[in-house]
Structure 1
Amino acid sequence: MKKVFLTLILLIQFNAEAQSSALTVADDLYANGNYTKAIETYKQLKNLDEVYDKIAKAYIAIGNYGEGLVYYEKAIKANENNLLIKYEFAKLLTKTKKYDDANQMFTDLIVLDSVNPNYHYELGVVLEKQRDTLALQEFKKTFSLDQTHQKAIFKIAKHHLIKRNFELAHQFIDKGLESYANNVELISLKAQSYYHQEFYTHSVVWFKKLLELGEKSEFIHEKLSLSYAHNSDYEDAIYHRKQALKFNPNDANALFVIGTYYESLSNFEKAEEYVAKALKLQDVSLSHEYQRLGTIYNRQKKYEKAIKAFQKAIKEDPSNIMAEFFLIRTKDEYYADTDSKINLYENYIKKHEKSPFRLYAQRRLKELKEEKFQEQD
């Protein structure tokens, strides 16, 4: 009898050691990223109740969220009091867009532990996905429980930025940066807040911080360029707009804007180059762009090219009175024959009785007629 009892004890011990050894092997496979082998090994264990959640995590690691959900459900049934498993399951529900189920799960978790900030934050994320305005309330609750919670601070600060409550946005951003000075999301909000407040010198400082932290994007360089331009720092504005172009080389608007910056620096050759590039890329009405190109040609006294540009502007938009007037003014500079100039202004005045340039046209017509009279004398 003693021998049988001893044999049973040894057998139980052997099975326990075998189970423990297999579990260790499975855990090692998972830790080293061999998730499929880990799943196979976990499933060979006799007591699966203890590893359902591990199997779920392994399935999630290889992107099989469906099986992940299945095994988390089994893990919860086997471990009803394990809040961590419920928390991970709820996050997976959110990830797989099962928002109603995720909402219920996080709500239940909050009932069990109302002072856990992450439960409130994750519920806020779900409510946000459901377009429920109560999301902000949950983010604020998260912040009240943990004033260093970076994700909740970002959500609240972003809300205030969108609502143009800039003072409150800055307060939350600064609070977040106290505990994590290099939070690029908060730094971006800081830069954007200053930009929308038209504090361009400050926005430059904060957008540059993003670059220093290795964040490079079309958005950052574009906003830096615009900030510099608002401060009339056109060389820096050109540099950063060109950097933005690297992300989108066929951005006709960016090319056009660079051309205007070169024009502001009186570098008309470069202005001409970039505006001309912009025109080639656009397939919408180009009246304004051709008009601008014409003025750039005029500044270089390239009157013949300017005339052609203004003619194209009018062709693109026959109602462009300004381009039509600029065309007359350019011909006035380019043509030598006084009678031809007089005819241009007389026709313009007859055609455009309500033109804002009518008074100037009348004054110039008078000057031309006086010049003709003096020439006859």
Structure 2
Amino acid sequence: MKKIFVLFLLIFFKAGAQTSALSVADSLYALGNYASAINEYAKAGDKKASLQIARAYNVIGNYDKSVAQYTSILESNPKFDLARFELGKLLLKTKSFGPALDEFNVLTASKQENPEYYYYLGRTYESVKNADKANKAFKAAVAMDSTHLRSLYALGKYYVGQEIKDSALVYIDKGLRFYKDDVAMINLKALAFYNNGQFQLAIPHFERLLELGETKPFVFEKLAFCYFRNWEPERALDTYHKLSMFPDKLAVAYAGLGQVYFEEKELDSAQYYIEKSIEERMALFPQEYASLGRIARLKGQTKKSMDYYERAWEENKDDYRNYYQVCILADEYYKDPKTRLNYYAKLLKMYPDIVPFLKERVKKRISEIKEEIHFASN
């Protein structure tokens, strides 16, 4: 009887010591004193304490020790799903994608109705560029929980990126039915229409983003372009001016303003802003030079237009269309037929594979100029 009583006391005091160690460790952990908390958890030595040690190593960024601790826990407790789930997320965070897939596949194979397991499985497949398996996992998460916003977003984002608007909207609209002011979903919906060229339908969603405080440059940029393509020049101009408030978007804003003014036949303003956009750019700008070429031509400035198109062509010699414009303008500007002939001949020599209809047009013009030269010499 005495031995039993002593044994009872030993068990009681050991349990009390463990409880005391855990209590101290928990307090240290809550205060962010993770190193000291790890030492106290080690004194307790039970499953909960081991899990907290793994978490503490994770928090302080000692991922190798955290992974080792989680692995040790699972060796002793293979059905400890919480530890396996946390280990899977840590492996995903540290880009150990193969081991992460192993852990999440074990969790999803357990037949538990937990959409989070499938969501993180999908995230991991995304990371290894396996879109089919990623989408299958996200769809499984949505099947378990139709309001699982992160999986709905992942699916919507994928289909927006693939420019498959109808499929994207299926998942985006499901998310918005439950979270109508979710800015990420609203942005996806705006982009689904934008990428599909449905600018009028995109406008209210970009406007809604601004109403919700998403005053970011890309929202102003895309909204301005939508207004422009929807024949709303005043709103386009106003929005491009707002975009110009962002220093790193000045070139884009000025180019947009130039485009709107050009379409409105306000050529001086168009020229001003396109030139400003060129000043702001630190890269190549063949399109801007081509735009200035069009403006100069409309203003009757043939030589200036030719110079701009030639600069556009020099910036990007893969695009034969700008040099074709140089040929046409040279044909108008130079009186000497041999000079004009040389431009067209150079075009065919540099670009023997230009589109057939253009090649025929150039060949015809070459024949006409040669005939002109022939008659002039007789």
114-123 vs 141-150, which deviates more? 114-123
* Letter of the 2:93 counterpart: K
Aligned partners of 1:291 and 1:323 also within 8 Å: no
Q: Residues 72-124 of structure 1, C-alpha deviation per residue, up to 9 Å, x if partnerless?
A: 12222343332111111122122222222222222222232342222222222
Aligned partners of 1:217 and 1:247 also within 8 Å: no
Aligned partners of 1:289 and 1:313 also within 8 Å: no
268-277 vs 6-15, which deviates more? 6-15
Distance 2:257 2:211 in 1: 24
In angstroms, what is the RMSD of aligned CA positions? 3.7
Q: Residues 277-313 of structure 1, C-alpha deviation per residue, up to 9 Å, x if partnerless?
A: 3334355474x53343244356667x5xx74453353
Aligned partners of 1:325 and 1:357 also within 8 Å: no
> What's the counterpart of residue 59 of structure 1?
57
1:167 to partner: Cα distance: 2.3
Distance 1:279 1:324 in 2: 24
Aligned partners of 2:306 and 2:325 also within 8 Å: no
* 1:249 partner SS: helix
Q: Residues 205-255 of structure 1, C-alpha deviation per residue, up to 9 Å, x if partnerless?
A: 112222223334333222212211111223333344455555562774553
Aligned partners of 2:206 and 2:223 also within 8 Å: yes
> What's the counterpart of residue 21 of structure 1?
20
1:71 to partner: Cα distance: 1.5
Is 1:313 the counterpart of 2:312? The answer is no
> What's the counterpart of residue 116 of structure 2?
118
* Letter of the 1:61 counterpart: V
Distance 1:238 1:345 in 2: 44
- Structure 2 alignment gaps of length 5 or more: 315-321, 346-360, 370-378
* Letter of the 2:137 counterpart: E
Distance 1:232 1:356 in 2: 39
1:51 to partner: Cα distance: 1.0
* Letter of the 2:325 counterpart: M
1:258-273 correspondence runs (5 A): 258-273=257-272
Q: Residues 254-293 of structure 1, C-alpha deviation per residue, up to 9 Å, x if partnerless?
A: 533332222234444432232113334355474x533432
- Structure 1 alignment gaps of length 5 or more: 332-340, 363-377
Aligned partners of 1:160 and 1:166 also within 8 Å: yes
1:229-308 correspondence runs (5 A): 229-244=228-243, 249=248, 252=251, 255-280=254-279, 281=281, 284=284, 286=286, 289-297=288-296, 303=301, 307-308=303-304
Is 1:148 the counterpart of 2:147? The answer is yes
- Normalised by the size of structure 2, how large is the TM-score? 0.75
> What's the counterpart of residue 353 of structure 2?
none
Distance 2:182 2:23 in 1: 38
Distance 2:258 2:72 in 1: 64
> What's the counterpart of residue 130 of structure 1?
128
- Normalised by the size of structure 1, how large is the TM-score? 0.76
Q: Residues 98-154 of structure 1, C-alpha deviation per residue, up to 9 Å, x if partnerless?
A: 222222222222232342222222222222223332222222222111111112212
Distance 2:342 2:90 in 1: 73
Aligned partners of 1:49 and 1:78 also within 8 Å: no
53-62 vs 313-322, which deviates more? 313-322
6-15 vs 150-159, which deviates more? 6-15
22-31 vs 56-65, which deviates more? 22-31
> What's the counterpart of residue 70 of structure 2?
72
Distance 1:357 1:291 in 2: 25
Gap change, CA 1:135 and 1:295, over 3 Å in 2: closer
* 1:221 partner SS: helix
Gap change, CA 1:167 and 1:269, over 3 Å in 2: same
Is 1:322 the counterpart of 2:309? The answer is no
Distance 2:108 2:277 in 1: 56
* Letter of the 1:122 counterpart: Y
Gap change, CA 1:55 and 1:283, over 3 Å in 2: closer
Aligned partners of 1:314 and 1:324 also within 8 Å: no
1:173 to partner: Cα distance: 1.4
Distance 2:213 2:58 in 1: 30
Distance 2:339 2:154 in 1: 61
171-180 vs 124-133, which deviates more? 124-133
Aligned partners of 1:290 and 1:309 also within 8 Å: no
Q: Residues 49-84 of structure 1, C-alpha deviation per residue, up to 9 Å, x if partnerless?
A: 331111111222222221211111222234333211
1:350 to partner: Cα distance: 8.8
Aligned partners of 2:51 and 2:70 also within 8 Å: yes
> What's the counterpart of residue 226 of structure 2?
227
Gap change, CA 1:101 and 1:42, over 3 Å in 2: same
Gap change, CA 1:154 and 1:123, over 3 Å in 2: same
> What's the counterpart of residue 373 of structure 2?
none
Gap change, CA 1:346 and 1:130, over 3 Å in 2: closer
* Letter of the 1:72 counterpart: Y
Distance 1:78 1:247 in 2: 57
* 1:134 partner SS: helix
